[in-house]
Every structure is written in structure tokens, then in C-alpha cells.
Structure 1
Amino acid sequence: MTPEDQEETQPLLRPPGGSAPRSRRVFLAAFAAALGPLSFGFALGYSSPAIPSLRRAAPPAPRLDAAAASWFGAIVTLGAAAGGVLGGWLVDLAGRKLSLLLCTVPFVTGFAVITAAQNVWMLLGGRLLTGLACGIASLVAPVYISEIAYPEVRGLLGSCVQLMVVIGILLAYLAGWVLEWRWLAVLGCVPPSFMLLLMCCMPETPRFLLTKHKHQEAMAAMQFLWGSEQGWEEPPVRAEHQGFRLVQLQRPGIYKPFIIGISLMAFQQLSGINAVMFYAESIFQEAKFKDSSLASVVVGVIQVLFTAIAALVMDRAGRRLLLALSGVVMVFSTSAFGAYFKLTQDGPSNSSHVELWTPVSMEPTNASMGLAWLAVGSMCLFIAGGAQALRCLLAGLCLLHLQCPFHIGLCP
């Protein structure tokens, strides 16, 4: 990497020496932004308890058949894909703060549409809107948090993003244990509404303000977030390197991290981790577990636990080792889960020919009790491996991004 490239990867704001007094308001601002990933996780996990509830719904409430239930879980990813593109455009045009404020609109609107749904199309439309918000929040929130954090806490606050996502998923599973789909959608409006109120009181990131040549506003933001604007200097930023151009892909320092990052993200998605999150409770129903809601909550707890563990041991064990170990665990666990269905498909009380969404007794026979727990155990291992893989993947991508001259945001 050339000296010019090294200069561009440095923060726009850096202390020349010593340590300035720190304000704790940066943690409040980071929490406000992290409510976006929390809302994102809740929207991802919402379909798991909502689908069985919608399958049992009595007229005049909308009721999902097998095909509609599949779309209800998956359509959120289409919205997220569009939201990622929209978020990438908004984050530089409107700014980090305004982008986070705007993403609360499709979050609240989407859950409100689901709450008032009178037919399947309203349910799908609401999920599409929440997916759009998920795409924006998943892109903008990490950028905002990394740019407001000073170096001593940047890694800590950056780790909170993925942790808040899995906490949001767990919250959806826990609430779905006691709430039916309408009230669960009402609860989904709470985190983004709270984020809207808090973010209105938070400043724009100093980095974004400086790129827009708003020096006084940037100093005010630093004073609010860090407690002082003194002792900080602004290195020169060349305008021609603030954006990405396709011609830059000819450089090995750019196309190698780009290919590695895209490949890792593609394989992570193809592992099926999102499908498990979307349909966890339905999967356990098909596995004939006694209490599918409880099983999905256990999976959510495991995901939160191992995401936190991955954040703690990642710097010591290394990203590559943990990614390889996670892959082995996920292969083993999915093989065990497939073996469970193979072993039980011919049993009289565990027939796999029963339609996936047909209400069944969750009380396994004594002979299949151990096999039922095999299903839960293997799924927990899969989630544990996936949680570690995703955390290491995000951190690894940040390191790759820091090698790229066109990278603008600050990664943890």
C-alpha cells in the first residue's frame, strides 16, 4: 500500500498526542444508532413466531397458506436488498444522522401495515417495507457509530452492532412466545420510534460534516460527543479519493479485498443462516419438538451468547481460525439435523410426510425424546457457528476495507 493510500485510511480526526477528556455522551449516541440494528434483528426474527400464529388465525384475520408463509418470511430480503442500495446513496447525500432518521419511517410504517392487515398482500407489503428499513439501517448504523467513536472505544462500540441484531432476534422470539402476530407487530414499532426520538437529539458525525466543509458544525459535534474539540487536528483530504471508481478495481490492493469480501459474504448467506432465523419455530414444529416456541428462544439465546463470545476471543484467536472452526461446526450440525429427519421420517409419530404447516402435537414419544433434543442441539450448534462466523466476517471485512483507498467509513 502506497503512503498516499495509508494517509487516506486514517481518520479525518485524530489526536496528535496525549489524551483529551472524554464525554460519555458518545455512548448515548451509539446506543441511539444501535436501536437501528435492534429493529433490524426484530424484523428478521418476527416471521419465526408470526408464521405459526398466522397459520392458526381465524377469519376475518388473514391466514397464510404454505406458499404465502414462505413469501412472508423471505420477502424481507428483497426489501433489504433495495434498502442497501438506497442506504448507500442516502448515507453520502443526506448524511448519517438523517439516513438513520429516515429509516425509522419504513420500519414503523411496515409494522403498522402488518398490524392493520386485512389480507395477505398487506402482510407482504408490510414485510417488504420493514426489509427496506433493514437494508438502510444495516448499512448506515455501523458507519455512524464508527465515525462518532474515538479510538479507545471504537472496537467496543462497533462490536455492539451485531450484538444488537441478535438481541433483536431474541426479543422477537421471546415476545412471540406470549404475543400473537398483531401485538408482536405493535411491539416492533417501539425500537424504531425510540430511535427516532433519541437521534433527533444527537449530532451528525464530525467526519461527514468535515467532508461537507462544515468546520464549525464539526467542532460543535466533537464538543458534544467527546467533551472537547481541542487537541484534534484535521489532516488534508483529497476530494478525488472520496468516491469509488471502477477503474480502481485494476489495483491489487482494491480488487483482492473486494473479491474476498464479496465471496465471504456470499458463502455466509448461502449457508442458510437467514432461513433458520426466519422459520425457526416452524422448523421445530416439523421436528416434532414439544414446545417449538421454547426451542426457538433457546436458539436465540445461544446466538446472543456466542456472538458476545466471538467478540471477546476474536482478537486473540484470529479471524481465520474462528472462521474455519465455525465452518466445521456448521457442517457437522446441519449434517446431524438432516440425520434427525432421516431417522424419524419413517416413524408413525414422526412422519416427515406431514405438511410443514399442519398443527401437530409437540409432545414427542419416549422413544423419540432423545432424537427431538438432537434436533435442538444440532440447530444450536449451527447457530453458534454462524454467530461466530458472522462476527469474525464483519470484523475481517472492516480490516479489508481499511486497506482500500476508496473506503470512507471507519470500521471497528
Structure 2
Amino acid sequence: MTPEDPEETQPLLGPPGGSAPLSRRVFLAAFAAALGPLSFGFALGYSSPAIPSLRRAASPALRLDDAAASWFGAIVTLGAAAGGVLGGWLVDRAGRKLSLLLCTAPFVVGFAVITAAQNVWMLLGGRLLTGLACGIASLVAPVYISEISYPAVRGLLGSCVQLMVVTGILLAYLAGWVLEWRWLAVLGCAPASFMLLLMCYMPETPRFLLTRQRHQEAMAAMHFLWGSEQVQEEAPAGAEHQGFRLAQLRHPGIYKPFIIGVSLMAFQQLSGINAVMFYAETIFEKAKFKDSSLASVIVGIIQVLFTALAALIMDRAGRRLLLTLSGVVMVFSTSAFGAYFRLTQGGPGNSSHVELLSPLSMEPASASVGLAWLAVGSVCLFIAGFAVGWGPIPWLLMSEIFPLHVKGVATGVCVLTNWFMAFLVTKEFSSVMEVLRPYGAFWLASAFCILSVLFTLSCVPETKGKTLEEITAHFEGR
């Protein structure tokens, strides 16, 4: 097929006629790349069981006080923000595969430093390194998976990125029950080491190879991934690899996906997910759970189950529908969560948000427990709703909507936005609670969820069943 304008020709890659591929090795390649997000999730979840263990460490040099514990949990987000910038640079210059291989080094070295730590500074240094790896993996893995996938399974495989993240978090919670912090860090080296071994046998993405005019390697990669060497329509040599220039932001094919990608990442964090996760254990304690650490495991299981459900239905239901339903569920659950705080704190304010969590003393104990169970329901509903849509889909869409020649810079900005907003929301949420009270803070999150639904309906295109080149053509008006 010869296009009318050869200057706008894009490579349409995939199995012949869009049919099911002859090779299933694309799933193996996606699994190998998704081990990066598994390590990413383990690094995020590591602090939850490790901090209590480090608070009672035998050595005073390793014992965490409140300030050190706060930094131990939060410094990962700072490292990840830097990793997003570095990953955006690496993914275009080193390629998708090599970037994934390189990110294993800070994962393994970071956990090794934690394992060998003799003081708090070594602990924080190790966490910073694992955060750097998290930022690179959170950018490169979705890009790699989207570029090796064909449209019929891109939603399924792309959603597995978030599925592996929440699986890694759950793995850290479960392992934390039986392992102390040093051995837990040793376990953290395993997924990244396995990814390093497996990715060595996986190909670079055909799209990246074509932008570098490495056609023979691209043919070999397509044969490995899809059992096909057919390129339905091929770009002129070097047409895609132009690099990013600020002047390109004038073009709708660049600024439209750029605005959508950054907005999705901001709305994901403004939904209140970190705040809900922060208070989950406290809420479960109010509901009289004997082991409050069980709350973390229950939350992790809900995340895994509903993220897996999203992956299974992503290519049937579509991105827009799941984002909308997810947003509506989060609106109701954050509103109910705010109502719980409003009912249990009717008096004048205290400066401590921990004190604000305490029910009024005049309230009967049975009523307090009953309301706490309503809060547990709201927490579980919110996490389920988030996992179905706003958890996996912003990462999936980020990997789908950008043209190849700006993908590194654009995804880097999106990842930087996500991690910066995560740090900002986590750090400032207590201040917001002091100003607006707890119920006001969660109702504010509910308002952001409403805005996210309106943004989805008005601005986010449906990418289900489209090739990456067709998505680019949609933004360009072709």
C-alpha cells in the first residue's frame, strides 16, 4: 500500500493482517521486562516491614528515629524522580533493552548497600539507589512492552506492568512477616538479577531498531516476537529518529499527547491513593483487627486481584471506560471516607492529624467500631477502584500515545511528574489535613477524582485495538 504523502509514512509493525502471531515469545519478552516493575514494587513495599524492624535494631547506629524513618520511606520517591529523567535520556540513546539491563545495577547495588549497612546513611544511600532504579524501570518497562506488543494484547501486557508493581509490594509485605530487614534486602536482589539474566536473551524492540535503520536486526526481532518478518508499511530511512526540539510542541501530534500524559500522572497522585494507603492500617486498627499489619496484606491482595482483573478486560472494555468507572468509584469511596472522619470528629481542631483520627470520647464504643467498619469498606472500595483503572492505565497510555522520536523526553517528563506529585502529596498531606481537617482533605481528593473523570471523558482518546502508528496519526489529524 502506497500512502498519498510519503513524508508522513509511519512503520506499521505487527503480525500479518493484525492476526494472532505465530510465536508466543512476545509474552516471554513482556514477562522479562515486567520483572523490573516487580523489583520496583518490592522496593516500594520494603519500607513497610523494614521500618519497624529497624526501629528495634540491636545497633544504635542503625536504629531509626521518627525523622530517619520518614526519610527512609520518602527518599525512594526523590531517587525515582531522578531516575525518570535519566530513563528518558537512556531509552532514546541506549535503547529500550539496554536501559532495562542497566537499571538492574542500582537495584542490586542499592539492596546490597542496605544489606551491608553499618549506619543510617548507608540505609538512606541504598534506598536512594533503589529509587533511582524504580524511576528508570517505571519508564522503560511500559515503553518496551508497548513496542513489542500487537494491538490485540497490548492492553493485557501493558497492564501487567502495574500488576507486577502491586505483586512486588505484596511480596515485600508477606516476606516481611518472616524475614528481618537484612534478609529482606537480600531477597530484593533476586527479581532484578533474574531480569538481567532473562533480558539478555530478549530482542530490542523492532520499532526502535527501525528508527536506527537496523533493518536486519528489526526483521530478526519481529521473527522472534511475532513469528513474522512482515512490515506492512515502512518509514523512510531516519524519518522517525529526529530527536526532540521545543519547536515541536507547536504541533498537535506532540502537545496533545504531552498534555494528556502529564495530566494523567498528576490526577493519579491527586486521587488520594497515598493518603488512603497511609491511613489504611490505622483504620483497620479502629475496626478491632487483632493484627494491624494484616491490613497491609489485605490491601496488597485487593490491589493484585483487581489489577489482574483490569489486565484481563483491558483490551475488551477499553481504556476510557475503565478510567471513567474507576474515577466514579473513587469519588464515592473518598466521599464516604471523608464522611467517616466528619462523623467521628465533630469538635474543634487539634494540630495533630494523629489525634484527629481518634473518635470522640462521648461516642459509644460499638458505634465507633461500626463506623470504622464503614471506613474499612471505603478503603477497600477505593483501592479496588484505583486498581481497575487509575492504577495501571496512566502508565499504559503513557507508553502508547507519544510518537517514537519524542518518546524518551515525553515519557521522562511524565514519570518525573508522577514521582514529584507523589512526593508532594505524601509530604504535604498532613499540612492539608491541619488546614481543611481530615474530612475536608479527603473531600478535596474526591473533587480531584471528579475532575479526573471529566478530563477522561473530554480529552482522553480510546487506544484499544489501534497500532501505535494509528494512535500517532489520530493526534496529528491524519
TM-score band, normalised by shorter chain: 0.7 to 0.9
Work out the CA distance in 2 between the residues paired with 1:14 and 1:48: 42
Which residue number corresponds to residue 349 of structure 2?
Answer: none
- Structure 2: state its 5+ residue gaps: 347-351, 357-364, 412-466, 472-478
Which residue number corresponds to residue 235 of structure 2?
Answer: 236
Work out the CA distance in 1 between the residues paired with 2:273 and 2:4: 40
Task: Name the amino acid aligned to 2:161.
Answer: V
Which residue number corresponds to residue 266 of structure 1?
Answer: 266
Which residue number corresponds to residue 460 of structure 2?
Answer: none
Task: Report the alpha carbon displacement of residue 283 of structure 1 after superposing the two structures with TM.
Answer: 7.1
Which one is further off, 250-259 or 169-178? 250-259
| 1:156 matches 2:156 | yes
Which residue number corresponds to residue 308 of structure 1?
Answer: 308
Task: Name the amino acid aligned to 2:235.
Answer: P
Which residue number corresponds to residue 390 of structure 1?
Answer: 391
User: Kindly, what percent of the aligned residue pairs are identical?
Assistant: 79
Work out the CA distance in 1 between the residues paired with 2:87 and 2:396: 20
Which residue number corresponds to residue 327 of structure 2?
Answer: 327
Which one is further off, 71-80 or 211-220? 211-220
Instruction: Please tell me whether the aligned partners of residues 25 and 226 of structure 1 are also in contact (alpha carbons under 8 angstroms).
Output: yes
Distance 1:101 1:38, change over 3 A: same
After superposition, the C-alpha distances for 1:142-180 in whole angstroms (9 at most, x for unaligned) are: 222222234443333222112111111111122223322
Task: Report the alpha carbon displacement of residue 376 of structure 1 after superposing the two structures with TM.
Answer: 2.9
Paired residue secondary structure (1:389): coil
Work out the CA distance in 2 between the residues paired with 1:3 and 1:120: 64
| 1:124 matches 2:101 | no
Task: Report the alpha carbon displacement of residue 28 of structure 1 after superposing the two structures with TM.
Answer: 1.7
Which residue number corresponds to residue 40 of structure 1?
Answer: 40
After superposition, the C-alpha distances for 1:343-376 in whole angstroms (9 at most, x for unaligned) are: 6679xxxxx88789xxxxxxxx766443443343
Q: Report the TM-score, using the length of structure 1 for normalisation.
A: 0.82
Distance 1:370 1:63, change over 3 A: farther
Which residue number corresponds to residue 349 of structure 1?
Answer: none
Work out the CA distance in 2 between the residues paired with 1:30 and 1:165: 14
Task: Name the amino acid aligned to 2:370.
Answer: G
Which residue number corresponds to residue 196 of structure 1?
Answer: 196
Which residue number corresponds to residue 90 of structure 1?
Answer: 90
Which residue number corresponds to residue 444 of structure 2?
Answer: none
Paired residue secondary structure (1:390): coil
Which one is further off, 213-222 or 62-71? 213-222
Distance 1:253 1:369, change over 3 A: same
Instruction: Please tell me whether the aligned partners of residues 48 and 282 of structure 1 are also in contact (alpha carbons under 8 angstroms).
Output: no
Instruction: Please tell me whether the aligned partners of residues 159 and 393 of structure 2 are also in contact (alpha carbons under 8 angstroms).
Output: no
After superposition, the C-alpha distances for 1:121-144 in whole angstroms (9 at most, x for unaligned) are: 111111111110011111111222
Distance 1:280 1:181, change over 3 A: farther
Paired residue secondary structure (2:234): coil
Distance 1:304 1:30, change over 3 A: same
Work out the CA distance in 1 between the residues paired with 2:4 and 2:305: 41
Distance 1:344 1:155, change over 3 A: closer
User: In the TM superposition, what are the counterparts of 1:79-228 in structure 2 within 5 Å?
Assistant: 79-228=79-228
Distance 1:180 1:331, change over 3 A: farther
Instruction: Please tell me whether the aligned partners of residues 76 and 130 of structure 1 are also in contact (alpha carbons under 8 angstroms).
Output: yes
Which one is further off, 315-324 or 257-266? 315-324
Work out the CA distance in 1 between the residues paired with 2:275 and 2:367: 29
After superposition, the C-alpha distances for 1:305-328 in whole angstroms (9 at most, x for unaligned) are: 222233344555554454344334
Instruction: Please tell me whether the aligned partners of residues 39 and 192 of structure 1 are also in contact (alpha carbons under 8 angstroms).
Output: yes
Q: Report the TM-score, using the length of structure 2 for normalisation.
A: 0.72
Task: Report the alpha carbon displacement of residue 399 of structure 1 after superposing the two structures with TM.
Answer: 5.5
Instruction: Please tell me whether the aligned partners of residues 340 and 375 of structure 1 are also in contact (alpha carbons under 8 angstroms).
Output: yes
| 1:30 matches 2:19 | no
What is the aligned length? 396
Task: Name the amino acid aligned to 1:80.
Answer: A
Which one is further off, 318-327 or 214-223? 318-327
Instruction: Please tell me whether the aligned partners of residues 289 and 372 of structure 1 are also in contact (alpha carbons under 8 angstroms).
Output: no
Distance 1:3 1:175, change over 3 A: farther
Work out the CA distance in 1 between the residues paired with 2:282 and 2:178: 16
Task: Name the amino acid aligned to 1:26.
Answer: V
Instruction: Please tell me whether the aligned partners of residues 38 and 191 of structure 2 are also in contact (alpha carbons under 8 angstroms).
Output: yes
Distance 1:181 1:33, change over 3 A: same
Paired residue secondary structure (1:189): helix
After superposition, the C-alpha distances for 1:182-231 in whole angstroms (9 at most, x for unaligned) are: 222111111001111111222222222222222232233333333343x4
Task: Name the amino acid aligned to 1:224.
Answer: F
Which residue number corresponds to residue 419 of structure 2?
Answer: none
Instruction: Please tell me whether the aligned partners of residues 287 and 341 of structure 1 are also in contact (alpha carbons under 8 angstroms).
Output: no
| 1:401 matches 2:399 | no
Instruction: Please tell me whether the aligned partners of residues 83 and 131 of structure 1 are also in contact (alpha carbons under 8 angstroms).
Output: yes
Task: Report the alpha carbon displacement of residue 16 of structure 1 after superposing the two structures with TM.
Answer: 5.5
Instruction: Please tell me whether the aligned partners of residues 26 and 148 of structure 2 are also in contact (alpha carbons under 8 angstroms).
Output: yes
Which one is further off, 136-145 or 264-273? 264-273
Task: Name the amino acid aligned to 1:22.
Answer: L
| 1:71 matches 2:61 | no
Which residue number corresponds to residue 62 of structure 1?
Answer: 62
Task: Report the alpha carbon displacement of residue 90 of structure 1 after superposing the two structures with TM.
Answer: 0.9
Paired residue secondary structure (1:311): helix
Which one is further off, 305-314 or 64-73? 305-314
Distance 1:16 1:7, change over 3 A: farther
Work out the CA distance in 1 between the residues paired with 2:179 and 2:276: 21
Work out the CA distance in 1 between the residues paired with 2:323 and 2:20: 37
After superposition, the C-alpha distances for 1:365-407 in whole angstroms (9 at most, x for unaligned) are: 76644344334322222212222222333444455436x9845
Task: Report the alpha carbon displacement of residue 287 of structure 1 after superposing the two structures with TM.
Answer: 7.9
RMSD value over aligned CA atoms?
3.5
Task: Name the amino acid aligned to 1:27.
Answer: F
User: In the TM superposition, what are the counterparts of 1:359-398 in structure 2 within 5 Å?
Assistant: 368-387=368-387, 388-397=389-398
